[in-house]
């Protein structure tokens, strides 16, 4: 067994679980120690596996190592503390510490507490999400930066501030009450959606890994249904959105790992079980007194499960984006709306709306304008595509964009170039 992405994959799946359980046992003041122990667990694993082979159940193996490391850490802490403060010698008795409980239930409960602790309103939302992705999902700094469309330094600073904030309020990790759950739910949902998107749009070519990340986010979202909160309908909406998108996971990637644009996907390959699951969740999500961004996005995602391009479909999508933009003004929403305008009102209207956004440093902005100018002003289209290539972070994106430029030069531009980003 030599899976090409085994360690990064295990890291995303298990790192956050180990950190969450450790922090639940020890308190938030030991967050850094918990992170170190979780990281070291992977080093130990690799150091052993290279000689002895990869175990049948790697996760169980990791948990055992984490337990040993935790026990040793407590012993060391105890020695340190009893040396420094003899008066508290008996407070931290390692021999009385029960073994860490790394059962499925204990892990889920710890993850939930961690999610809500991180989503405390005293922290800026960006910091909360960055910290969640780091701690709960084991994302690297670069992956988080990519998710936020920003750079590594910004993320590092954000994480540092967020951790300081967390440490200053050790009570945060107690089981959240109804008020805490209500106040922090929106951030928790946003984080889970980012996690899901990371899996869905991941540049990793291994479909198993992408599916795993999406599934992990769906499981965490599902566990939120056990909490009592006024936003239960929002949770259902998020789950619905995730199901609709996940239905195309298989169809949007070829066996060799290439992305298949939405238009070229075979609807036979769409997972209709997930679509009906999504419809069920959407029904559960309706009937509340307000709609969240996830309600709107779930409805848009629902329209994308219908392959036929009718004018009604795109008019509905555009209307949904108009409302979505009012409650969640993000560059990606605005760009998606630009694409919907193109489908409803044509390229000129879409160009006018998109250029107002002035996002010259955004790869998707440049890609969209490249697409919109194709066949209208090919010189401008080429310039935008070239700018997008300069901004692109992966070879795959650069190659795709180059294909568009070549197509401009060869024939009159055709529609449908952008769909792998905006509707895939």
Give me the sign of the Cα torsion angle 207, 209, 213, 218. positive
154 binds another protein (CB under 8 A): no
Q: Does 43 sit near another protein (CB under 8 A)?
A: yes
Q: How far is the CB of 237 from another protein (least distance, A)?
A: 32
370 binds another protein (CB under 8 A): no
Q: Cα–Cα distance between 156 and 160 in angstroms, integer? A: 6
For 383, half-sphere exposure in the C-beta direction (CA atoms, 13 angstrom radius) is 6
Question: Least distance to another protein from the beta carbon of 9, Å?
Answer: 8
Contact status: 56 vs another protein (CB under 8 A): no
- Interface residue with another protein, options 25, 48, 328, 378 (CB under 8 A): 48
In the shown chain, the binding pattern of residues 99 to 138 toward another protein, with x for contact by CB under 8 A and - for none, equals ---------------------------------------x
CB 341 within 8 A of CB 318: yes
Give CA–CA dist 378/375, Å, rounded: 6
Of 5 and 186, CB closest to another protein: 5
Using an 8 Å Cβ cutoff, are 88 and 81 in contact? yes
Q: Which of residues 292-351 bind another protein (CB under 8 A)?
A: none
Q: What is the DSSP letter of 63?
A: H
Residue 75 CB-half CA count within 13 A: 7
Phi, psi of 414 (to 5 degrees): -110, 165
Examine residue 50 and tell whether it contacts another protein (CB under 8 A).
yes
Q: How many Å apart are CA 115 and CA 137, to the nearest integer?
A: 11
Longest dimension (CA), the chain: 82
**By CB under 8 A, which span of 18-26, 44-52, 90-98, 223-231 interacts with another protein?**
44-52
Shortest reach from residue 40's CB to another protein, in Å: 7
**In whole angstroms, how close is the CB of 292 to another protein at the nearest point?**
33
Site membership for another protein, residue 40 (CB under 8 A) = yes
**Binding another protein by CB under 8 A: which of 36, 77, 284, 355?**
36
Q: What's the full length of the chain, in residues?
A: 424
CB closer to another protein, 80 vs 85: 80
Contact between 409 and another protein (CB under 8 A)?
no
Determine if 51 is a binding residue for another protein (CB under 8 A).
yes
CB of 112 to another protein, least distance (A): 24
11 is an interface residue for another protein by CB under 8 A: yes
- Residues 59-98: x where in contact with another protein by CB under 8 A, - otherwise, as a string: ------x--xx--x---x----------------------
Q: Which is nearer to another protein, 13 or 184 (by Cβ)?
A: 13
140 binds another protein (CB under 8 A): yes
- CA atoms of 45 and 144, how far apart (whole Å): 25
Contact 418, 371 (CB under 8 A): yes
Contacts of 314 (CB under 8 A, 6+ apart): 340, 343, 344
- Shortest Cβ 50–another protein spacing (Å): 4
8-16, 25-33, 116-124, 369-377 -> range binding another protein (CB under 8 A)? 8-16
Alpha helices in 99-206 (DSSP H): 104-118, 125-135, 141-148, 152-167, 178-201
Q: 67: which 2 tokens?
A: 């337990």
- Pairwise CA distance, residues 105 & 101, whole Å: 9
The answer to the question of residue 254 lying near another protein (CB under 8 A) is no
Binding residue for another protein, selected from 29, 32, 46, 356, defined by CB under 8 A? 46
Whole-Å CA distances, 148 to 49, 141, 197: 35, 11, 12
Residue ranges that bind another protein, judged by CB under 8 A: 2, 4-8, 10-12, 36, 39-40, 42-44, 46-52, 65, 68-69, 72, 76, 138, 140
């Amino acid at each position: 067994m030599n899976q090409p992405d085994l360690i990064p994959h295990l890291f995303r799946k298990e790192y956050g679980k180990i950190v969450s359980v450790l922090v639940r046992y020890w308190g938030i003041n030991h967050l850094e120690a918990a992170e170190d122990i979780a990281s070291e667990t992977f080093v130990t694993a690799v150091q052993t596996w290279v000689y002895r082979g990869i175990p049948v159940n790697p996760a169980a193996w990791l948990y055992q190592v984490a337990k040993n490391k935790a026990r040793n850490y407590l012993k060391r802490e105890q020695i340190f503390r009893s040396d420094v403060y003899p008066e508290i010698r008996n407070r931290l008795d390692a021999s009385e510490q029960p073994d860490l409980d790394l059962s499925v239930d204990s892990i889920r409960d710890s993850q939930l507490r961690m999610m809500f602790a991180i989503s405390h309103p005293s922290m800026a939302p960006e910091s909360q999400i960055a910290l969640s992705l780091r701690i709960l999902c084991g994302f690297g700094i670069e992956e988080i930066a990519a998710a936020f469309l920003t750079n590594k330094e910004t993320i590092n600073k954000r994480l540092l501030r967020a951790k300081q904030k967390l440490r200053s309020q050790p009570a945060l990790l107690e089981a959240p009450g109804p008020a805490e759950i209500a106040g922090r739910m929106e951030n928790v949902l946003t984080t889970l959606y980012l996690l899901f998107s990371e899996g869905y749009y991941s540049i990793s070519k291994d479909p198993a890994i992408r599916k795993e990340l999406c599934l992990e986010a769906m499981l965490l979202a599902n566990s939120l249904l056990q909490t009592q909160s006024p936003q239960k309908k929002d949770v259902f909406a998020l789950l619905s959105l995730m199901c609709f998108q996940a239905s195309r996971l298989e169809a949007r990637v070829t066996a060799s790992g290439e992305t298949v644009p939405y238009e070229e996907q075979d609807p036979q390959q769409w997972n209709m079980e997930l679509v009906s699951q999504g419809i069920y969740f959407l029904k559960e999500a309706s009937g509340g007194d307000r709609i969240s961004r996830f309600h709107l996005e779930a409805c848009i995602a629902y329209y994308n499960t219908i392959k036929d391009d009718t004018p009604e479909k795109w008019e509905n999508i555009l209307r949904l984006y108009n409302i979505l933009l009012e409650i969640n003004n993000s560059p990606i929403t605005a760009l998606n709306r630009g694409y919907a305008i193109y489908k409803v009102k044509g390229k000129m209207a879409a160009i006018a709306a998109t250029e107002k956004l002035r996002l010259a440093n955004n790869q998707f902005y440049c890609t969209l304008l490249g697409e919109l100018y194709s066949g209208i002003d090919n010189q401008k289209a080429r310039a935008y595509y070239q700018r997008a290539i300069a901004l692109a972070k992966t070879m795959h994106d650069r190659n795709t964009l180059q294909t568009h430029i070549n197509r401009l030069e060869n024939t009159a531009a055709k529609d449908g170039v952008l769909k792998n980003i905006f509707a895939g």
